[in-house]
Amino acid sequence: MKMLVTGAAGFIGSNFVFHQLKKRPKTQIVGLDALTYAGNYETLKPLEGHSQFRFIKSDITDKSSIDVLFDTERFDVVVNFAAESHVDRSIENPSIFLSTNIIGTQVLMDAALRYDVRRFHQISTDEVYGDLPLERPDLLFTESTPLHTSSPYSASKASADLLAQAYYRTFNLPLSISRCSNNYGPYHFPEKLIPLAITNALADKPIPVYGTGENVRDWLYVEDHCEAIDCIITRADSGSVFNVGGHNEMRNIDIVKLILDKLQKPESLIEYVSDRKGHDLRYAIDPSKIENELSWTPKTQFAEGLDRTIEWYLRNETWWSRILTGEYRKSLPR
């Protein structure tokens, strides 16, 4: 099997590449990434010279380059992780999110149709559903929950989902979509909550927390997410949509306090800042469909996953410190 993984130098994309090479060593993988600020080629450097992996620096919105790539490689499977994903940045500059997340997805799907890809998998997010009230813990997002977005980021991802479903119905593109909750684990870019809290705490720097930190998220260890994607692309029916969640809802402030406790750092490092515009209150995933149809369940309890994540950041200071200094941007594929 030959697979294209876009966004391969990002957080979840790189973890998925490592997961696939370990689980399916006969699969040939081409990893594609534009290496914008959140794409870190140093994550993939250990794979240089790997017989089953090749990296290409390219942008999914570049139609001519994508067409040449598909014509040359004749992929069986495409997994599209490539996306601009930081909500704050989408508020500051929505246009790049619309270009990458919508037009880029369209370019990839057109190529997938033209070159008879057997499965196109779109990585989405629970943020396409909007949010849920804090006082209704009984409410959960299901695959039939109407899309109701809050930020330019989530709107761009919801648009890509709708476009993908239209390509399935109109053009019979064999595709699937997964909508995941918040991921955490190794190689997480240190602008997101958990790696930001870890790296700032280690440096005794203030940890910014929006508002009062009451916002609730469901957390999923990245390795469990990778296994869920593998189940979907190999066993799910075309046209399927699956929610992928970790059964672990926690308030942002409790996550930060837990990290500080584990690192033996004072809570005085917490710095409450003005709340994000349109900040979603609560995300909560019901993953019963994927559990029932594909027998997938998250294996990693949050306490274990957080310990493993903190330990990884302690052992890999060079990786994240080069991001903080900007040195990682000088690392390019050979």
The residues that are catalytic are: 126-127, 153
Instruction: Find, among 66, 127, 61, 69, the residue nearest to 100 by Cα.
Output: 61
Q: Answer whether 119's CB lies under 8 Å from 76's CB.
A: yes
Q: Which residues pair with 33 in a beta bridge?
A: 57
What lies within 8 Å, CB to CB, of 7 at 6+ separation is 13, 32, 33, 39, 80, 81, 82, 83, 123
CB-based contacts of 290, cutoff 8 Å, min separation 6 = 228, 231, 232, 242, 243, 244, 296
DSSP 99-136: IIIIIHHHHHHHHHHHTT-SEEEEEEEGGGG----TT-
- Closest listed residue to residue 1, CA positions, set 26, 20, 22, 18: 26
The Cα–Cα gap between 174 and 168 comes to 6
DSSP SS3 for 207 = strand
What residue type is 42 in one-letter code?
E
Q: What tokens appear for 188 in the block?
A: 């997480």
* Residue labelled with tokens 């930020």: 151
DSSP state of 244: E
Cβ atoms of 286 and 245 closer than 8 Å: yes
Q: How far is CA 220 from CA 122, 266, 334, in A?
A: 18, 26, 33
Count of other CB atoms within 10 angstroms of residue 257: 17
